[in-house]
Structure 1
Amino acid sequence: MSNITRRDPLDDLFRGFFVRPVEYAGAPVEAPQMRVDVKEASDAYQVHAELPGIKKEDIHVHIDGPVVSISAERKQEKEVKEGERVLRTERYFGEVSRSFQLGADVDEARATAKFNDGVLELTLPKKAPAQSKRLVIE
């Protein structure tokens, strides 16, 4: 005699949905990488850095000669309404940073930054090379 089992397709659809997953309990979320595009023109560098979900007040750019450092922090909002409980949080909250070296020194005085739709755009003009001076011997 064969056994016949009846299955409800909705059981598979909702399986594990209302159950707190064990593998995520207390596991730290890995920090995302900051994706950066760097382009070079004859007089400047163009840098585009993806920083989704970060406010422009929480972004810091530091220039030291040819080295550019970008750091940003995403702060967690603790807004839990009454009668509500968090089942799972996968979003990253914390600080990300990235440093890279360019081929020439950057003119910090003329550098500009824009932040729009989660993309930081830096225009980093190259510093004019120092002119050598020939000394006349008397």
Structure 2
Amino acid sequence: MLLRWHPLQEVEEVSRQFDRLFHELAPQERETTKGGWIPASELRDDGDHLTLRLSLPDVEPKDLDIQVTKDSLSIAGERHIERRDESDKGYYWSEISYGKFRRVFALPVAIENDLVKAEYNNGILTLTLPKANEVKAFKVNVSSKLPASESN
């Protein structure tokens, strides 16, 4: 029996598989489609600690929930809409996203989760994440004791 090959159907099937894969790997994308948003972030290695910064303009510190483990970090919060009520029709448009957000970060190294510090200034949340001792680099000094006869 001879079967007809449909290359476009195979391409569509691969595309659906990729969509399913990315949908499973990016849970925050699902939240965005439900009216949430994703704050921009950056993670920097500063030697003995990591620094994570998130852009959270108009988010009150009291509306943030930060959970830290040795190898991951979760930040959730909400930016409340500024409109007074539904009769406020003065907007021509608004590109600002409002609502809840949640970001989960897998950290590249283990941290001392009980020593994490958070600071919020000018719409930027800065977390200082001290590295765990087992991942810090320590300088080891080598001492040498030469016999007295060789030191002259």
Q: Under TM normalisation by the shorter chain, which class is it?
A: 0.5 to 0.7
Q: Distance in 2 between matches of 1:109 and 1:29?
A: 33
* Correspondences of 1:106-125 after superposition (within 5 Å): 106-125=111-130
Q: Classify 1:76/1:127 alpha carbon distance in 2 versus 1 (closer, same or farther; 3 Å).
A: same
Number of equivalent positions = 101
Higher share in strand: 1
Distance in 2 separating the partners of 1:60 and 1:75: 15
2:89 to 86, 89, 103: 86
Consecutive unaligned residues of structure 1, counting only runs of 5 or more, are: 1-27, 131-138
TM-score by length of 1: 0.62
Letter in 2 for 1:86: K
Aligned structure 1 segments of 4 or more residues deviating by more than 4 angstroms: none
Distance, in Å, in 2 between the alignment partners of 1:87 and 1:29 is 25
- For the 8 Å contact 1:63–1:106, the answer to whether it is kept is no
Aligned to 1:71: 76
Give unmatched runs, 5+ long, in structure 2: 1-32, 136-152
Residue aligning to 1:61: 66
Residues 37 and 99 in structure 2, CA contact (< 8 A), matched pair in contact too = no
Which of 33, 49, 54 lines up with 1:49 in the alignment?
54
CA distance in 1, matches of 2:103, 2:64: 12
**What amino acid does structure 2 have at the position aligned with 1:72?**
G
Deviation per CA, 1:41-100: give whole Å up to 9, x if none.
2211011100011101111111122111111112235624xxx64254634331111111
Preserved contact between residue 37 and residue 100 of structure 2 (Cα < 8 Å): no
Higher helix share: 2
State the TM-score, normalized to the length of structure 2.
0.57
SS of alignment partner, residue 129 of structure 1: coil
